[in-house]
Structures are given as C-alpha cells and as structure tokens.
Amino acid sequence: MAITLNNGFKMPIIGLGVWRMEGKEIKDLILNAIKIGYRHFDCAADYKNEAEVGEALKEAFDSGLVKREDLFITTKLWNSDHGHVLEACKDSLKKLQLTYLDLYLVHFPVAVRHTGVGNTSSPLGDDGVLDIDTSVSLETTWHAMEDLVSSGLVRSIGISNYDIFLTRDCLAYSKIKPAVNQIETHPYFQRDSLVKFCQKHGICVTAHTPLGGAAANKEWFGSVSCLDDQVFKALAEKYKKTIAQIALRWGIQRNTVVIPKTSKLERLEENFQVFDFELSTEDMKIIGSIDRKYRTNQPAVFWGIDLYA
C-alpha cells in the first residue's frame, strides 16, 4: 500500500525508522524487515548510522534479496549543513552506498553553526543556547534542495517539523513543492489542522513517532505514551490486534505515512500486519477524542531553547 506523492512517485505507507539503532543491530533489522515486506526506510544524517544502513542495503542488493528500485529510501539534511546542501547530500549518498535518494528532507526548520559536512552536531554558545545561524534562510536552503532534484541526486524533496506557517511559506517560494512534511503526530498529538493543511495542498504527511515515542522518548524526555491509554487497550481487545497495530492503523486511515521504530523482530512483524483490518468510523472518532496536544519529542532538552515555543 502506497501514497502517490505530488510528483507522481509512490511512497510506501509504512516504513521503518532507524533512529537510535546501532551497529550489527541495524544490518540484521533491515535485512529482516525486507524479508517481512518493508520497502521504505527512514534515515537521517543526524542518526549517525547511515554507513551501517548502507552496508545492509548493499548486502540486500548484492544477494538479490531486493532491487534498488523496489526500495524507498529517505534521509535528511541536518541543521548544521543548511549552507552546504549539495555536499551534505553527497556525503549521505556515499555512506548509504546509493546513487540517488527517493526522498531528502530538511530535518528541522533551523540552520545552526556549520561544524563540517557529515559531522552533524548541535553547537551551543557560551550561554548554553543553540548557536543558530541567522545568515542562512530557509528559502535559500530550499532552493539548494531543488537543485538536487535537477541534478538527479534526489527524486523527491520535503520538509520536516514545519508548522503551518513555515509550510505555507515554503509553498510560496518553492519552484518544486515539498512532497512530504514529516512531523510528530500520534493519538496524543494529532495536529489535525497541520495535517489537513498539508493534505489540502498536496503535501503528504509522514508521522514520525507514530506510537508516541514509547520507550525511547520515555527514556530521553520523560514522555507519556499513548499506548498506555485505556481506549487503546479496549480497541486492541475488540479487534484482536496489538495496541501498536491499532495506533498505526489509525495513522494509516488518516492517509498519513507511518514510520514506527523497533529493534525487536516480533514487533517488526507485528507493525507490518496492519492491512488485514479496518477501524470503524466510530472508533476513529473515539481515538480522535483522546488528543492531548502532547509533544513527546523535546529537542529543547539538548538545545537550551524551545523552537516550538
């Protein structure tokens, strides 16, 4: 099952996010995911594991497990490389051992002090606050992203963590419209207005953290997970599915792409088994009623400044 982007390319509606995965774990996970049926992998320069992902992809291609054209590979431009888009893209391609990307995203709508291509960091000033580079505009960054499409390095370009106003501005100054806006959205942080705005203007919404972050965000940010909600426990029992499957199915039925992360094989399989049932309109409304407008991913913990404030 896939969503057709505004440029005609198809994006699988479920993918595997590789944030916070390391070493041999990545290789085994990606190869197992491909065997299960995953064809979409969501990466980022800042995850600092593109080289390991590249090794896994090379093995998958060399062994005949899958062809390059069968996969949809996303990675992202980090904040410190906004003034070095071409170099950063080429660095990611080299690490991933690919000749083109299916999708390249601006990871966050902020440029910070450059620390060297591929050396993704979030430099702080003496005051402990993120060292934002005010000399590079998002418009300048976007036009450099457009050049990647023209050069054939990237098929689709998009944005990530953009709100309605920044998305609207990108639509106004772009020659190539963003194909995707990847945002945090889950039952406790539904963001209906942003989702509706993007979809109305032909921008596919990808839900990172579609399960509310679960253990990963609890550990880093002390977040509460929607998976503990009694509503999901009741629906899981009703549909004879796991709580995570219910949450992912809700995201899919909103016409959003979901990219859950897991390092466990059994959950990798479970997360992909979401196409053999459908939530009723009533149950979709019930999940819609539990929105807490609760963001679980809080980079301000590391940046000394809340960019969402």
Q: Which sequence positions are flagged as catalytic?
A: 47
The helix, strand and coil proportions of the chain, stated in percent and rounded to the nearest 5, come to: 45, 15, 40
Burial of 86 (0-12, 13-18, 19+ CB in 10 A): middle
Cα–Cα distance measured from residue 56 to residue 61, given in angstroms and rounded to the nearest whole number? 9
Which DSSP string do the residues of 124-146 spell out, in sequence order? B-TTSSB-B-TTS-HHHHHHHHH
Q: Which one-letter DSSP state was computed for residue 162?
A: -
* Rg, Å, the chain Cα set: 19
How many of the other CB atoms lie within 10 Å of CB of 140?
15
End-to-end CA distance of the chain: 36
Question: Which residues, in sequence order, are bridge partners of residue 77?
Answer: 106
Question: d(Cα 230, Cα 253) in Å, to the nearest integer?
Answer: 21
DSSP 189: B
Reduced to 3 states (helix: H, G, I; strand: E, B; else coil), residue 46 is helix
Does 107 belong to an annotated binding site?
yes
Binding residue ranges for substrate? 107
Binding residue ranges? 107
